[in-house]
Structures are given as C-alpha cells and as structure tokens.
Structure 1
Amino acid sequence: MSIRLYRTLAFTAVIIGFFMALLDATIVNVALPEISRHFGGDVGQVSWIMNGYNLAFAVFILTSSRLADQFGRKKVFLIGLFLFTMTSLLAGFATSMEVLIALRICQGLAGAIIVPVTVPLATELFPKEMHGTIIGAWGAISGLAAASGPALGGILTEQLNWQWIFFVNVPLGIISIVLTLFLIKESYDPTSGKKIDYAGTVTITGAMFCFTYALIKANDYGWGSPAIMLLLAGGVVLSLVFFLVERRGKEPMLPLSLLKIKPFSGAALTLFVIGAGLTTMSFLTSFYLTRILGMTELKAGLILSVFALSSMVTSVISGPLSNKFGARWFAAGGIALFITANFWLSRLTAGSTTMDVIPKLALAGLALGMTMAPVMASTIRNVPEEKVGISSGIVNMTKALGSVLGVAIIVTVLQTQITGQMDRAREDMAKTIQTNAVLTSSVKHQLVTMTEKMNTKSSSLSSASSDGLMKQVSATMAKETQLALSKLPKAQQAQAKAAMDRQTAEIRRILPGIVTDYRDAAARSFSHTFVFSCWLLLIGIPLALFSDRRYIKKSALPVSSVPVETD
C-alpha cells in the first residue's frame, strides 16, 4: 500500500469518527417535535435530549484527553467509537423518553472521548509541514457535519422515522472501527505517567458540571436564583481547587506550563469566543426563520446549511496559509468579518425573504472558516508535540463552554427584547382598537383579548398569522352573530345582521395592520439581539491577536523570504 493511500484511509477512519460525533450534536434538533409526539413529555423534558448530550460532552472532554495521552490514543478512540455506535443503536430502539435521554448522555460521553483524540491521531499521520492543511480539512469536516445535521435529520425523520437519526451512526461507526483497528498506530504522550490524577479528574469534572448545568438552566430558574448562584459558586470553588491540585501534583492531568504559553492561551480564549458566537448566530437565525418567516424546521435547517458549507471553503484555504503567515491576522480578520455578518443579519425585517438571508449566512460562514482552522492550527503549532492531545482537550472544552454560555446569554437577551417589544406592540394595538369609531365595545374587548394571545405562539408571528387570526375571529363572530340573531324578532334581524357585517368588515380592514405590527415588533427584538451579540464578539478581536506568535521577515539576509517566529 502506498504511503498516500495509507494516509488517506487512516485519516478517513479518524474523520468518520469525528464527523459522527459532531453530527449528533445537531441532527436530533429537527426531530425533537416528532420524538415528543412519540413518547409524550413536555418541552423541558424533551430539551434534555440535546442538553444531556452537550452536558456530558463538556464535562468529560478534558479527562478523556488526559486518559488517551496516558493509556493510548488509539485504544481510547476505539472505546469511544464502540460506545457511540452501541448507544446509537440502542437509542433507535428506546422504549421511553427517560431511556432515550440516558442513552444521549452516554453518547455525549462517547463524543467527548472521540472529538479531542482526533486531532493528535490525525497529526501523527502527516509530517509537521502538512498540519495546517490537515487542520483545514478538519475544520471543513466540522462545517460539513454542522451543515448536514439539521438537513439530514429532517430528511430521515420525514422519509423514514426519527429512529434513523440514530441508526445512521451504526454503519459509520463500524467503518471507522474497522479502519482504525488495521490502519491507525498507537500513540501516547511519553512525558505522561500512568498514574491517574483522581483529584484533578474529580474537581475539573465537578467544575465543568456546575458551570455547564448552571448555564443550561439559567433561563429556567433565573440568573439570580439561589440554585444558579450556588452552581456558579461551586464551579468557581472547584476550579480553584483544581488549579491548586494541579500545581502541587507530581503527575497532573493538566500541565499548567501549557497555560503559560501565551499563543496557546490566546487561541483557547479565542475559541471560547468563537464557540459563543457560532451558537448564538445559529440559534438566533433558526428562530428568526421559523418564528418570523414561518418556515418549517427542515427548510430552516437547509438554509442554515449555507453557513456551514461556506465555512468549509475558507477552512481549507486558511488552514495551510496560517502555517506560513501565522493565525493572528486570519483570526482577527475572521472575527471582524463575523461581526459584520451578524450586524448585517440585524438588518433583517419581518418582510425579508430567503434570498435576503442566504448572502448574510454565507458571509458568516466564510468568516468562521477563516478563523477556526488557523486558530486550531495554532494550538498545535505552539505546544510541545507530545502535548497535542491534552491541548486539544483544553481548546475543545473551552469552545464547548463558550457555546453553552453564548446560548444562555442570548436567550436571556432575546426574551427580554421580545417581552419589551411585544408589550409596546400590545399597547399600540389596544389603542388602535379602542379608538376605532366603527367597532362596538363588546367587539373591541373580544378583539383585544384574541390578539393579545398572538405573542405567546410562535406560529402567530409568521406571514400566515393574519389569515389564521382572521379565520378565528370570523368563526367566533359568525357564531355569536347567529346566536344573537336567533334571539331577535324577525323584523329586527336584517338590521342587526347588517350592523354585524359592518363590524366584521372593519375587523378585516384593521387586523392585517395589527398582525404586521406584531411581526415588526418581533423582528426588532431579533435585530436588537443580533446587535448585542456583535458587542459581545468584539472582545474576540484583541484575543485573536494573541492566538499565535508574530511572523516577521528578516530583511538583511538572502533567506528573508522564510517566516521567522517571534514572541
């Protein structure tokens, strides 16, 4: 077998596992309504099909990286693949919501084993000068998984059933296991001892659980609630204990010397911001497409795939180039471009079309690919070769934590904006109805009551709201008209019917404007939240400038064309 074919097949084994683990973070989202109908259960319970996976992933990722460095990356990768494949198979046969949630938590643990190990396994296959290209491909596959998740989940759910979103992992897992067994060589961190750092494992696991669970539940309990404050305080205390333990330990799971490498720390913090920005933009855009434009989840997922697919383009290009020119300006420029895309998305209105959304998502994707691959390459380039495994665990953990934090903050801001905008729209609506000279007092009261319910239903904010609400009002008016006419003498019925017809006609005249006002108010709440996210992302630009060493050229020597790293 030629070296090129060997590397291709071995890299395929790693990438399939990586792709599968990332795919399952998003493929389930579109199928949640169908799963809810199948098992029953409220929104809070169903949400744990997502939250359970994300929580387990964030909690275990650093520990799995350390264990892989100590006892063999190939061995740990195979354990993760086997666990992920088996839990996927069992999830398809789940008999209750509780069983499915438990299996999703196990999938999250398996994903936490797979994802960080893929980086050191992949870089072991290629010479160092090709690492930028490999990370570019790694970023492109990440984008493909993100793009495929919602679309593939929707297609499988509609054409087959929701169980196939889990069954699809089984052949992928088997292929990856077989290729790994025969083609991947075992690798370790030779500087790591075999002694497990139990104190470090327990404290970092506890800290990540407290932080992640608090952020997931912050909008349910309230940011200032005793439960959330206690969880956040527990996370801080456990983190401090963790660093104290690692500082004093003879064989710490996290060598604190890594955090003293400024480019690595800068890259990790940059990925924290990127993780937050990525999830907040995806979250806001998907809600805008479904709630404001009235799209189905499947169509919204297909449109969002533009974002992920465009990120693949710049990932493949920027990864190799960052090896030559460094990651700093790619990362800073990418975040600035990402902020621009978010601000452009804030210009969307209730009357925007699909073609108004797609170019903005494409720009955001290009910006993400321009940032992600160079920063990931920097985390490999700026740490000792034997520490690539644990460094991958650190940066993936910070990215995951950033994602959870980003969603928690943006949901709070969006809810606040929607409440404020809807309150103002409701006041304007009530004033418009109450000052109407045609409607009677009873009709005004009834219309105000019915339209006030609009902001509690996501479907009521789409363009079909006017027709739906008009049918509802017309049916109610017709029923009441029939009842009122039946109580009147025949001589008065014609006159009463004409009066009621005038009421109905007036409602038909003013109702579209009321619905439009509500939709505009909802669109403004999304617009203001997008702007808020831009301000949050600004901190990523200075962090990005510390995400790599500076690359300069010596001017006095013939070898000036060769980039030289400096601090």
Structure 2
Amino acid sequence: MSKLTGIRRGIAFAAIILGYFMALLDTTIVNVTLPEMTRQFNTAMDDMSWIVNGYNLAFAVFLITASRIADQFGRKRLFLVGTALFVVTSILCGLSTSVETMVFYRVLQGMSAAIVVPVTIPLAADLFPKEKHGMVLGIWGAISSLAAASGPTLGGILTNSIGWEAIFFVNVPIGIAAICLAIPLIRESFDTSAGRKIDWLGVLTLSAAMFCITYGLINVSEWGWDSLKFIGYMAAFLVFIVLFLIVELRTSVPMLPLWLLRILPFNGAVLTLVMIGAGITASTYLMSYFLTGILGNSILEAGITISAMSLASMVISAIAGGMSNKYGSRWFVTAGMGILALSFYLYGSLNAASTEWSVVWRLILTGVGIGLSVAPVMGASIRNVPEEKIGIASGIMNMSRAIGSVLGVAILVSVLNTALSHYSGEAVNKIKLQIESSADLSAEAKEVILEQVGRMVQEKSSAGAKNAEGAILLQLDTMEKALLSEADESVKQELQAAFTQQRQELGQQLSQVSTDLQDAFVASFSRTFHAGGWFLLLGIPFALISDRRGGKRLMTDPSMRAFAANEDA
C-alpha cells in the first residue's frame, strides 16, 4: 500500500479518476453528435455508426491483454501511456476530415481506453488500506455514472456552441491534468508473480476470440441470428477460445491464470456484470429511441432526461460501495439486479401520452438498481482473488461488462425489430388501404405519404407525418398556382374547392397515419421492455453467488493461498 497520506493521496486518486472519467466519457459523448457529423461528412448514418462501434470493439478486445501487460510491466506506466495515447488520438479525431480517418482514430482511442480503464482499480486500491476499498469502488462507480450522465448533455452543448470537434478536444486538458498529477504522486505497482515474459499466443487467440464475439454481436441485428455470417463468427469465437485454453494450459507463463475461473464468487461476479452491462446499455439505447421517436424529444432533451438515471446511480453507488465492503456485496447486488429488471419491465407501461415525470421516476429506479450493483460487484470481485491479481481481475470484469453491453443491445434490438415488423406491418397495410382508397388525394400525394410512412418505420418515429404534410402542401400550393394561372374564371372557384378538399383529406389521412404508427411503435417498445425485464432476472442467480457470506476476503484462507501458489508454480 502506498505511504501517501492525506491531501497527496486524495490528489493521486483524483489523477486516476480523471483518466477513468475521460475514457468513459467518450463512450457516450459521441452519440449525440453523430447526426451533425453525418451532415458535415455527407455520408450515411450506417457508416457513421462505426465511429461508436469501432471504439467499443477495440475497447472490448484489448481489455484483458492491457491488464496483463500492466501487471507485468507496471500499472502506472501503462496508465500514463494509455492516457497520453488517448489525448493524441482525441486531437486526431477532432482534426479528421473523412469518416475513414475518424473511424481509424476511434479504434486507436478505444485501444487506449482499454489500457486506462482496467488499471484504475488496482492503482486506486494501492493508495488506500483494504477497509477503504469499498469506499474507493463506490466513488469509482459514481464517476462511471457521472461520465454516462454528462456525456450526452456535454456533447450537445459543445456541438451546438462550438462544433462537433470540441467533444474530442475537451479530453486534452483532462488527460494532461491526469498525467501531470500521476507522475509525481502515484507509486508504481506490479503483479510480482506475473513475470516479464509475454504470452503472445495467448494474446493472439484471446484477442481473436473477443473480436469475433464482439463484432458478431454488433452486427447481428443487421445480419440476423440465423445468418451464415453470424454463425461463422460465433463458431470462430468458440474455436479461438478453445485454442486459448489449450495455450494457457500448456504455457509456463499464462496471460490469464485459469485457476481464477475456479473461484465461484469471482465467476458469479463476472456473469453478473455481463447482465448489468446488458441492462445499462440497452436501457439507455432503447430509451433514447423512445424519447425521440415516441415522445418527440430532441436528442439533447433526451440526453438530459436520461441523465436522471446516471445521477441516481452516482449517488447510490457512492453509498453502496462502502456499505457492501462492510456487510458483503451479494445482497446489494441481488437487490440491484431485481430493481434493474423491475424498472425495465415498468418501461413497458409507457405510451405516447406519458408525462416527463412518468419517464424520469422509472429512470431513477434504473439508476438505483445500477448503483446497488456495479460498485458492490466490483468490490466482491477484488475481495475474492489474491491481492496481486486485482489487475487481471479488473480486466476480466470490465471485459464482461463490455460484452454484456453489446449482448444486451443485440438481443433487445432483435426483439424490437421483430415486434416492429409485426405491429408496424399491420399498421402499414391498414394505412396503404386507407390512402389508396381515398378519392380526394392525388396520385402524387399518395406516393409522398407512402414514402414517408416507410421512412417513419425505419426511423422508429411517428413524427415524420408532419414532414410529409409540409412536403405535400408545398406541392399542392405549387400545382394550384400553376393551374389557376392558366384556368378560365369559370372554373377557378371549382379548382380552389377541389384543392381545399384535398388539403382537408390530407390532414385527416396523415393524422390517422401518425396515430396508427404511433400505436404500433408503442406496442413494439412495450413488448421489448417487458422482454428485457424478464431477461435481466437471469442475473439474480449469478448475483447470489457473486460474494461470500459476510463479504470476507477469500484469500485470507491459508489453504486458498497455497492452492493459488501451487497453480502458479
């Protein structure tokens, strides 16, 4: 443990937290700016999605590798390297002039975040005595929530006031401050049992396995669960995992000590974090669509509303972290998983007439569930492994959360798309019959309406009916002026009456279109949220085994220390 005391210890902890905050901020701050980037780069939204996916993919793939290298060659050293690389790649992202270069730099940025995030826990733990670790992890969890809460809001403000480039440049002063504080105040730490030899075969096989499962899950909503592409990537994942296990069993210096996976509470914590990651990301992702598409919020308004979840999580996490260290984690985590599942299920009762408070209190409930879960389960994970293995354990835990994030989105987006296909399919067929049977609408007006209906289904938003009405009214005005300028006085009144009738019919039809599609979207989201609630209940059995009774540290048992030593030998 570090000999730093008082103010210096607090400043050293602040340096670690700054680096952690910066890396997590970039997982959420970018989302709100994608429409503006799409416009400036003049490209499709599908291409822009890889600005987010590239970061997340690299982050998930390199977490464990970075943790192992940090254990071997110095956690402080890797923290400084990762933070410096993050600052440089942030500048390059802000200076990017094409989507291709932006995606490339975002991948590098994700790799640097994978270096920074897992070493923050062992570095912070080294600053404080064991009895303070719960408090430390509570603050760590609170900062995680703060980054998630401030990302969309800060991204919207910076983009609106300065430009999208500012969301990357804001990392520069944060990163520089973290480096300047860390160099003199943080003590270097290692896993003394890790050695210096790099297990290259282990690195390659594990990285390939993580790439296959993450890339496959990111794309499954586009490919389909039964597509040959997805099945191929999952098969490749299994092959590389088997090869990795064979390599680790044969090598004298494995990158991942497999005996860690024999510790039941640690396995429970890993699987619990998969479910927590699924719940956090899927709730944010789906609620963003619901708020903008059903309730008509702007992207910035939706971000501010969703911040209620993160702020609640921040407060509860700071409290639960310290208490779980004293009383044990498993009941905190179990309660958190139950509340998270319940809040997700309650989202299913929201509709287009729901008030802002109806949304906010559900989001707060989600935040309570997250706050009760994340810090306590991370605390359980480091209590149930040898002290020198906290670094690699942190990498495994962060990787499980990252995998859970893409898994949750993949599953629930598939449920949403299936529900949309059913409900909106019925609504679209009904709309087509109504539009095509109208005697007052022109063929051009019918075509524009049906085109807009298809666009609304694709965007999961019923707000496009107003856009269609404006486009058709403009078209009608142009046609009316042209015909009236050439018509005889005797038929002008009749023409004007016909156009007036067409406008009235247009308003009625589009109002019905909006209502029918809105009902279909609400039903689709309701089914998805209910399914998500039942899915997250699967995390409760894992939560129940995520810590020992009373939260006692596993490795205080001499027999377990001997077991670990024999396995390493």
Match for 1:394 among 389, 393, 396? 396
2:369 paired with 1:367: yes
Match for 1:105 among 104, 107, 119? 107
> What displacement does 1:445 show?
8.6
Task: Give the corresponding residue for 1:79.
Answer: 81
Task: Give the corresponding residue for 1:207.
Answer: 209
Task: Give the corresponding residue for 2:272.
Answer: 270
Q: Superposed, which structure 2 residues align to 1:20-31 within 5 Å?
A: 20-31=22-33
Matches of 1:178 and 1:147, distance apart in 2: 26
Task: Give the corresponding residue for 1:517.
Answer: 516
Q: Is the partner of 2:351 in helix, strand or coil?
A: coil
Task: Give the corresponding residue for 1:558.
Answer: none
Match for 1:296 among 275, 288, 298? 298
Deviations 1:13-52 (A, max 9, x none): 1111100100111111111122222223222221111111
Query: Per the alignment, do residues 261 and 448 of structure 1 end up closer, same or farther by CA in structure 2, a change over 3 Å counting?
Result: same
1:400 counterpart letter in structure 2: A
Task: Give the corresponding residue for 1:453.
Answer: 452
Contact 1:292 1:350 in 2 (8 A): yes
Matches of 1:329 and 1:232, distance apart in 2: 34
> What displacement does 1:419 show?
2.1
2:193 counterpart letter in structure 1: T
Tell me the matched-pair count. Answer: 552
Query: Per the alignment, do residues 349 and 133 of structure 1 end up closer, same or farther by CA in structure 2, a change over 3 Å counting?
Result: same
Tell me the TM-score normalised to structure 1 length.
0.92
Matches of 1:444 and 1:171, distance apart in 2: 58
Task: Give the corresponding residue for 2:407.
Answer: 405
Matches of 1:194 and 1:419, distance apart in 2: 54
Matches of 1:72 and 1:316, distance apart in 2: 28
> What displacement does 1:286 show?
0.5
Task: Give the corresponding residue for 1:16.
Answer: 18
Contact 2:328 2:551 in 1 (8 A): no
Matches of 1:238 and 1:201, distance apart in 2: 11
2:150 paired with 1:148: yes
Q: Greater shift after overlay, 294-303 or 261-270?
A: 294-303
Task: Give the corresponding residue for 2:501.
Answer: 502
Contact 2:428 2:453 in 1 (8 A): no
> What displacement does 1:481 show?
4.6
Q: Is the partner of 1:47 in helix, strand or coil?
A: helix
Q: Is the partner of 2:550 in helix, strand or coil?
A: strand
Matches of 1:88 and 1:452, distance apart in 2: 40
2:213 paired with 1:248: no
Task: Give the corresponding residue for 2:185.
Answer: 183
> What displacement does 1:322 show?
0.9
Query: Per the alignment, do residues 192 and 552 of structure 1 end up closer, same or farther by CA in structure 2, a change over 3 Å counting?
Result: closer
Deviations 1:292-332 (A, max 9, x none): 22222111111111111110111011111111221111111
Matches of 2:509 and 2:87, distance apart in 1: 57
Matches of 2:4 and 2:81, distance apart in 1: 28
2:261 counterpart letter in structure 1: L
Matches of 1:461 and 1:384, distance apart in 2: 49
1:101 counterpart letter in structure 2: V
Task: Give the corresponding residue for 2:223.
Answer: 221
Task: Give the corresponding residue for 2:567.
Answer: none
Q: Is the partner of 1:26 in helix, strand or coil?
A: coil
Deviations 1:250-291 (A, max 9, x none): 111111111111000000000001001111100000011111
Q: Is the partner of 1:349 in helix, strand or coil?
A: coil
Contact 1:70 1:188 in 2 (8 A): yes
Deviations 1:210-261 (A, max 9, x none): 1111111222333332222211111111001111211222111111111111
Q: Which runs of 5+ in 1 are unaligned?
A: 554-563
> What displacement does 1:542 show?
0.9
Matches of 1:431 and 1:39, distance apart in 2: 39
2:161 counterpart letter in structure 1: Q
Matches of 1:2 and 1:58, distance apart in 2: 33
Contact 1:294 1:459 in 2 (8 A): no
CA RMSD of aligned residues (A): 2.4
Contact 1:410 1:533 in 2 (8 A): yes
1:223 counterpart letter in structure 2: W
Deviations 1:88-137 (A, max 9, x none): 12222223222221111111110000000000000000000111111000
> What displacement does 1:472 show?
3.0
Match for 2:195 among 193, 201, 209? 193
Matches of 2:510 and 2:85, distance apart in 1: 55
Matches of 2:204 and 2:298, distance apart in 1: 43
Tell me the TM-score normalised to structure 2 length.
0.92
Matches of 2:130 and 2:146, distance apart in 1: 25
Contact 1:68 1:75 in 2 (8 A): yes
1:12 counterpart letter in structure 2: A
Contact 1:288 1:526 in 2 (8 A): yes
> What displacement does 1:496 show?
4.7
Matches of 1:454 and 1:514, distance apart in 2: 8
> What displacement does 1:446 show?
4.2
Q: Is the partner of 2:27 in helix, strand or coil?
A: helix
Matches of 2:253 and 2:194, distance apart in 1: 7
> What displacement does 1:430 show?
3.6
Task: Give the corresponding residue for 2:131.
Answer: 129
Match for 1:7 among 6, 9, 13? 9
Q: Superposed, which structure 2 residues align to 1:342-491 within 5 Å?
A: 342-433=344-435, 439-440=438-439, 443=442, 446-447=445-446, 450-451=449-450, 453-457=452-456, 465-481=464-480, 490-491=489-490
> What displacement does 1:456 show?
1.5
Matches of 1:462 and 1:96, distance apart in 2: 29
Matches of 1:24 and 1:503, distance apart in 2: 50
1:73 counterpart letter in structure 2: R
Query: Per the alignment, do residues 478 and 88 of structure 1 end up closer, same or farther by CA in structure 2, a change over 3 Å counting?
Result: closer
1:507 counterpart letter in structure 2: L
Matches of 1:332 and 1:305, distance apart in 2: 24
> What displacement does 1:503 show?
3.8
Matches of 2:424 and 2:4, distance apart in 1: 65
Contact 2:440 2:502 in 1 (8 A): no
Match for 1:36 among 26, 34, 38? 38
Q: Which runs of 5+ in 2 are unaligned?
A: 561-569
Query: Per the alignment, do residues 156 and 445 of structure 1 end up closer, same or farther by CA in structure 2, a change over 3 Å counting?
Result: closer
Contact 2:343 2:533 in 1 (8 A): no
**Percent identity for Structure 1 against Structure 2:** 47
1:401 counterpart letter in structure 2: I
Contact 1:291 1:458 in 2 (8 A): no
Matches of 2:432 and 2:95, distance apart in 1: 51
Q: Is the partner of 2:372 in helix, strand or coil?
A: helix
Task: Give the corresponding residue for 1:45.
Answer: 47
Contact 1:280 1:407 in 2 (8 A): yes
Matches of 1:372 and 1:9, distance apart in 2: 24
